[in-house]
Amino acid sequence: MTVEELREVAEKETARQAEYRHRITCCSAAGCASCGGTAVHDALAKAIKARNLEKEVELAGTGCMGLCGEGPLVRIAGDGTLYQRVDAAVAERIIEEHIAQGKKVEENLVDTSDPFFSSQVKIVLENCGSTDSEKIDDYIAAGGYEALAKAVTEMQPAEVVEEVRKSGLRGRGGAGYPTGLKWGIVRKAQGEQKYVVCNADEGDPGAFMDRSVLEGDPHRVLEGMAIGGYATGASQGFIYVRAEYPLAIERLRLAIKQAERAGLLGNRIFDSQFNFRIDIRIGAGAFVCGEETALIRSIEGKRGRPRPRPPYPSEKGLWGAPTLINNVETFANIAPIIRKGSGWFAAIGTPKSAGTKVFALAGKIRNTGLIEVPMGIPLRRIIFDIGGGTPEGTTFKAAQTGGPSGGCIPAESLDLPVDYESLATVGSIMGSGGLIVMDSTSNMVDVAKYFMDFCVDESCGKCVPCRVGTVHIHGLLEKISEGRGTTDDLALLEELCQMVKDTSLCGLGQSAPNPVLSTLRFFRHEYTELLHAPEGYVPAGTANEKSTTQ
Amino acid sequence: MAILTLTINGEHVSGKDDESLLAIAQQHGIRIPTLCHLDGLSDVGACRLCLVEIEGSPKLFPACTTRPQEGMAVSTDTERLRRYRRIIIEFLASEGNHQCAVCVVNNHCELQNLSYETRLTHVSVPYLYPKKELDASHENFIIDRNRCILCTRCVRVCHEVEGAHTWDIAGRGIACEIISDLNQPWGTSESCTSCGKCVLVCPTGALIEKGEAVAEMEKKTDFLRYIVNARRKREWVNVDSDEE
Ligand SMILES: Cc1cc2nc3c(=O)[nH]c(=O)nc-3n(C[C@H](O)[C@H](O)[C@H](O)COP(=O)(O)O)c2cc1C
Ligand code: SF4
Ligand code: SF4
Ligand code: FES
Ligand code: FES
């Protein structure tokens, strides 16, 4: 395909869509699909057919529309009407009343002027909810693959790297490493063969940002990877995605096939010397396989166990070759950066944390779902404007970011801007985008125990501190939460947490104690209230002189 | 290859840039406790005993997998490191079922020696008392998983030196176990050549010879050095050409 041909496809598709009077989009991502979304899609199609409206109404299955807690969701593209909790009967009414008679189905309307929608800024999710996830032409009509065309035909690889660097984009997989810097290292690394790897392992409990992007807009990730391949000199990409994401895998497979057929992946892309292929590798869902060195070993067909770094994958990655490894959301930001320029991107968010971040809102909050917000937005706005606050009759207590590797942010810090550095000041991390809200009914010792239990399960067992230490930390938490703990146990708990953090081999063990340390920092009283004094214990400062000198 | 100078515990030392900090320390007679490392095998950085401090970084670095840099200031024996090493040994002691008094390698056990060296006087975490299997199906050897500390030396020697890859790890986290073949009894293993290398490199009484009585068995790992050296220098090639 040439650049001109790409434009033709876009024009033809836009013209085709314009022939319809209505475009109805129905969320076909896993969240809605799991609560009857597929049946809604079928009911809509049936109702359209029954009224002979096929030439007037186009029905498209799209990615996640965000308000997953109220799904299945259906949108009427023209006027932007959004319907929630749609079932077959409501689907029938949408066609009969809204489409045929122009009368909205009031009972299921979503108020789209709610801050849930107006406070969001969509870059990564811009197509989710509007383009058909299974049609490459729809993606192209929305400007898809233009960035790849621009990079390959108008820019030198070094210029692409520079553009990404100037955008200020940082890795969305958790650590926030500057993406342009990483690309530059891989570009300069010596090696005949280089690889691009997309980390779609997404192991944080409750997180589904990456899944939503892959299900809703798979081509965007492919395009980002191809641009990464061009910039770094790689000709082969791998997407490592967990087997628990069957729909994402299916859509990716389809997308790769479509892109290959269109000549957007394969040899001589846009008639240039650039060749790039992408293959999928399916993981078995171990959390540790999201760690880059373990992920690489897993792609190589070995046991997914981390190894000490350096060497970093940028120098020695897959089969010893320089390897660019980025997160799904990181790659999803690339095409818009190249298309609209680094200046546009850098102006969103804060100077040190540019762009947006996708979060999966969960826990004790009214609006659960997928949101995308500009970096630097105060936590308060996420929780209360977008999330609608905690359920009736309860108050906000804390929010956990970074899942089992992160920490909690207490109510005192609600005005904290959500960016990499600010979150670090309160002992938490941006993480990959899990955001779990706790209210006055939540018990923080239990929260810490839950995450430690997860780490005990997910530790790969390679290094001693994480393999054994997490078990003992969990045991101490259990003891304390059951009211059997002593002050000595609390002291031991803190010592072991520090030790496991300092001595573990990989990020899993190094960050496993974070939820404990963080809840201890802000909610220490919840621990101490559960303690009981050991027998014969004399509280500090109350012993008489005789006994202390003995 | 370049020669670099650095300091270890304030002492000026020199080493090659492709050597580990551990190797450099050893050449200068500076002891760093190790368990998963064994001269002649690849390093995995798993036991974390050899962690050292490097000036200018808050992180700790495994000496066995860290390369030197010019001017690096390394500390191997700080109060924090000593405390952490003791906890590591404490963790290992609590993880298995280590009854030294009835063990054939009693007094010749690396775990036991390290517990003396790190001054582990008592174990303050609860013993986990796992249920682990003993496999005595092999003609000459026994694996008692109760005494295994998962250092993977056996896995590596079998794969890297003997080339049989009989051993591997099954499970995850605290449930990890050393298995032979695809978790078949060792005695039925088709890949095992009965060379006994794994038994010799095992730091504890997990892999032992049959017929040894309590405290009788001493493990010798020198053979590894000879094999690896001979391979590196291609000495068997020279032997062949001499004969011709
Ligand atoms: C235990 C563990 C799990 C991880 N899981 C993921 C994951 O699921 N997805 C991801 O993108 N990065 C994950 N990471 C981070 C990766 O190691 C790596 O830093 C990241 O993929 C780099 O991409 P980025 O720079 O685009 O963020 C994990 C790290 C650790 C230590
Ligand atoms: S820290 Fe945990 S997950 Fe990472 S290597 Fe060690 S045992 Fe494995
Ligand atoms: S059997 Fe011995 S050598 Fe093998 S992992 Fe266990 S302790 Fe190490
Ligand atoms: S899955 Fe349908 S709105 Fe998120
Ligand atoms: S000897 Fe270095 S980590 Fe075990």
Instruction: Supply the pLDDT for residue A538.
Output: 60
**By CA distance, what is A505's nearest residue in B?**
B46
Record: contact A499-B60, CB cut-off 8 A: no
- Cα–Cα distance, A345 to A329 (Å, whole number): 14
Ligand 4 binding pocket includes A73 (Cβ within 6 Å): yes
- Cα–Cα distance, A485 to A534 (Å, whole number): 9
Q: What is the pLDDT of residues A223-247, one digit of tens each?
A: 999 999 999 999 999 999 999 999 9
From the list B147, B153, B146, the residue with the least C-alpha distance to B131 is B146
- Cα–Cα distance, B31 to B76 (Å, whole number): 8
- Cα–Cα distance, A454 to A457 (Å, whole number): 5
Instruction: Supply the pLDDT for residue B233.
Output: 82
Record: contact B173-A308, CB cut-off 8 A: no
Mean pLDDT, range A352-366, rounded to an integer:
95
Q: Are the C-beta atoms of residues B9 and B30 closer than 8 Å to each other?
A: yes
What separation in angstroms does the CA of A141 have from each of A8, A64, A262, B47, B58?
A: 9, 19, 14, 55, 51
Q: What is the pLDDT of residues A390-445, one digit of tens each?
A: 998 899 999 999 999 999 999 999 999 999 999 999 999 999 999 999 999 999 99
Q: CB neighbours of A422 closer than 8 A, spacing ≥ 6? A: A416
CA distance A478 to chain B (A): 13
CA of A93 to the centre of ligand 3 (A): 68
Contact residues, B window 185-244, toward A, CB-based 8 Å cutoff: none
**Among the ranges given (A2-6, A385-389, B216-220), the one the predictor scored with the smallest mean pLDDT:** B216-220
- Which numeric CATH code is attached to A143-346? 3.40.50.11540
The proportion of chain A whose per-residue pLDDT surpasses 90, expressed as a percent, equals 94
Q: Can you name the residues that pair with A203 across neighbouring β-strands?
A: none
Confidence band, pLDDT 50/70/90 cuts, at residue A546: very low
* Cα angle, residue A338 at apex, residues A335 and A342 outer, rounded to 5°: 120
CA of A30 to the centre of ligand 4 (A): 7
- Cα–Cα distance, B89 to A400 (Å, whole number): 33
Q: Where are the domains of chain A?
A: 3-118, 143-346, 356-439, 452-528
State whether residue A479 sits within 8 Å of chain B by CB: no
CA distance A476 to chain B (A): 9
Mean pLDDT, range B17-46, rounded to an integer:
97
Peptide bond into A465 cis (omega under 30): no
> Per-residue pLDDT for A321 more than 60?
yes
Q: What are phi and psi of A144, to 5 degrees?
A: -65, 145
Nearest-atom index, ligand 2, CA of A510: 1
At position A170, the amino acid (one-letter code) is R
Q: Whose CA is nearest to atom 8 of ligand 2?
A: A460
Record: contact A456-B45, CB cut-off 8 A: no
> Per-residue pLDDT for B134 more than 60?
yes
**By CA distance, what is A466's nearest residue in B?**
B173
- Hey, what's the torsion of the CAs at B79, B83, B89, B95, to 10 degrees? -160
- Cα–Cα distance, A317 to A475 (Å, whole number): 37
Q: What is the pLDDT of residues A34-46, one digit of tens each?
A: 999 999 999 999 9
CA distance B227 to chain A (A): 26
Q: Which of B21, B91, B115, B168 to probe by mutation at the A interface, max A CB count within 10 Å?
A: B91
Number of helices (H), then strands (E), belonging to chain A: the values are 25, 13
Q: Which fold has domain A452-528?
A: de novo design (two linked rop proteins) (1.20.1440)
CATH homologous superfamily for the domain A3-118: Glutaredoxin (3.40.30.10)
> Per-residue pLDDT for A549 more than 60?
no
- Cα–Cα distance, A225 to A148 (Å, whole number): 10
DSSP A318: G
Sign, Cα dihedral of A100, A102, A108, A114: positive
Closest partner CB to A503 (pick from B48, B94, B176):
B48
- Cα–Cα distance, B95 to A504 (Å, whole number): 17
- Which numeric CATH code is attached to A356-439? 3.10.20.600
Longest dimension (CA), chain A: 98
CA of A432 to the centre of ligand 1 (A): 8
Orientation of helix A3-18 relative to helix A146-154, angle to 10°: 160
> Per-residue pLDDT for A477 more than 70?
yes
**Side-chain half-sphere exposure of A137, counting CA atoms within 13 A:** 11
Q: Assign B213 to helix, strand or coil.
A: coil
Q: Are the C-beta atoms of residues A223 and A263 closer than 8 Å to each other?
A: no
Q: Can you name the residues that pair with A361 across neighbouring β-strands?
A: A369, A435
Instruction: Supply the pLDDT for residue A541.
Output: 56
Q: Residue A357: left if φ>0, alpha if ψ -120 to 50, beta else—which one?
A: beta
Peptide bond into A306 cis (omega under 30): no
Q: CB neighbours of B180 closer than 8 A, spacing ≥ 6? A: B135, B143, B166, B167, B186, B189, B192
Q: CB neighbours of A5 closer than 8 A, spacing ≥ 6? A: none
A458: which chain B residues are within 8 Å (Cβ-Cβ)?
Answer: 172-173
- Cα–Cα distance, B126 to A272 (Å, whole number): 65
Q: Go through the domains of chain B in sequence order and give each one's CATH number.
A: 3-77 (3.10.20.740), 83-232 (3.30.70.20)
- Cα–Cα distance, B168 to B179 (Å, whole number): 5
pTM of the predicted protein model = 0.94
Q: Is the ipTM of this complex over 0.85?
A: yes
Q: Are A3-118 and A452-528 the same fold in CATH?
A: no
CB pairs under 8 A between A and B: 92
CA of A298 to the centre of ligand 2 (A): 15
What separation in angstroms does the CA of A199 have from each of A241, A292, A332, A429?
A: 7, 8, 12, 19
